Amino acid sequence: MDYKKEYQRWLDNADAETVAELNGIKDDEKEIEERFYKNLEFGTAGLRGIIGAGPNRMNSYVVGQATQGLANQLIKTNPAGTELSVAIAYDSRIKSDEFAKTSAAILAANGIKVYLFEELKPVPELSFTVRYKKATAGIVITASHNPAKYNGYKVYGADGAQLNPELAAVVLEEIEKTDIFTGVKTCDFDKAVAEGTIVMIGDEVEEAYLDCVQAQCINPELVREKGDTLKFVYTPFHGTGNKPVRKILKRIGFDNVVVVKEQEMPDGRFPTVKSPNPENKEGFKLAIGYAKECGADLIIGTDPDADRVGIIVKNKEGEYVNFTGNQVGALLSEYILSSLKERGELPKDGYIVKTIVTTNLVKAICSAYGVEMKEVLTGFKFIGEKIKESEQTGVGTYLFGFEESYGYLKGTYARDKDAVVATMLIAEMTLYYREKGITLSEQMENIYKKYGYYVEYVESVVMEGMDGSAKISGIMDNLRENTPQSVAGKKVVAVRDYETSVRTELESGKKEEILLPKSNVIYLELEDGNNFVVRPSGTEPKIKLYCLMRGDSKTEAEALVEAVKADIKNIVK
């Protein structure tokens, strides 16, 4: 793409507000190039980018082109005469409501019925709604936990999971055929609402969704009897979790929830945090102050689109420490399986699903309960595919799925991670162990003593812009061409290259096929059951490096992690 020509084309065709923004950067050649050297990439997760004018930014024109591409795909891949419909939700981010309305008007103009929420809603509620309304597809306007300058556009299939790679490829093909200024159909939004092509939906769908969430409660009698005795702090980080999370907690009996007032209301600027990411302890500073003041031992935070959840727990030294997504996933796996076994309800064909970069501790937990552990690529849509596979074949009972990046799902009512159900289960689990005289910190230690000390570490290195993209590609190429012989002093025994779908044992040279979809991931299997994984993020301008270490003691496992950190510096230099 000739970025200078494209810049001029936007100046000649865009609306006055956009032209004014573009004139504001007319003397900044680097900024013009960054915005216009390519189109914002549409992947299987949709779009995500910095808000602003230009084809490599998030704006109404880019959203419109993507929506027209989706409309074309729906018409093209469904039988003639099919009544097509799309459910749309949006979060608290800047321009999210505007982008949602833009999408609705375009779909309506293409003869596609739209179900649009009247107010901001979480990602999992949209996933549920697609299934509940029997819609053909779904859209969520969100950039998840990214900083405030970002927004995004996620597309869902009829099964409620993020669009599969095959259909996403068709959408991309249609986007590329669509002129961003002249190829997008639209209509008057208010007129479409009056005519019923756009249907506004409210709390009736949320109540049905919460019914399904509530059904996932494992020990409802305990919560009804003792729920009001557990005091904990909750923060929605200025996002969509505030209403549905508080509703479900109240429904089942948790009446003693302290909400962080400064972070309660939706605000796309996220003024109280550097980043609204529940992985980062920094964002919980206000919540920790609340916990100290009210004497709470647990803090729960959901990200802006309420599909991910993080927790802070008070340990025996009285310090508030953040648990990783791997730790919470392991705690929930043990809690769910042990509770089902205790009640005699553990199905013989039950299974748990995790992603390839998620802790291997769950393998040991599943093995102890005689439950299958299924492993998929990074991305919750692949967990959703396993649920769908069981429904279609009648083989296997899905019990729980999670990924290390703080996403969890119990139940099959949705096909994406759900911070609402996860918050409910975390609170329930905390109460359950407290009644046995055990804190969450103590239960985590019990798990390590039972299964071994698994310690994980993720380093995310941000590399923005053209230069960053080229550097990330270079790092992945170098790993393939010059595979390290050791990591953290541990010998590399095998390499899994998910892009070529080949696993190679280094000593024997033996190769075997990897039976998963292709993905740009290098997985190094180390001796003694340790692992190191490198992959570019699919949604952010960064490369992610994962170390999955196991030791006979916490000290041994942590020493391996520290050794990996030193090696990472050489890999990303």
Encode 313-366 in three state secondary structure.
EECCCCCEEEECHHHHHHHHHHHHHHHHHHCCCCCCCEEEEEECCCCCHHHHHH
CA distance 45 to 501: 21
114 contacts 130 by C-beta, under 8 angstroms: no
145 contacts 44 by C-beta, under 8 angstroms: no
Task: Tell me the HSE value of 179 on the side-chain side, using a 13 A CA sphere.
Answer: 8
Encoding tokens for residue 327? 């730790």
Active site residues: 144
CA distance 337 to 348: 12
DSSP state of 152: E
Distance of CA 50 to the CA centre of its chain: 18
* φ/ψ (deg, to 5) at 497: -105, 105
CA distance 403 to 358: 6
**Size of the chain in residues:** 573
Residue type, 233: V
236 contacts 261 by C-beta, under 8 angstroms: no
Q: At what angle do helices 419-435 and 242-252 cross, to 10 degrees?
A: 40
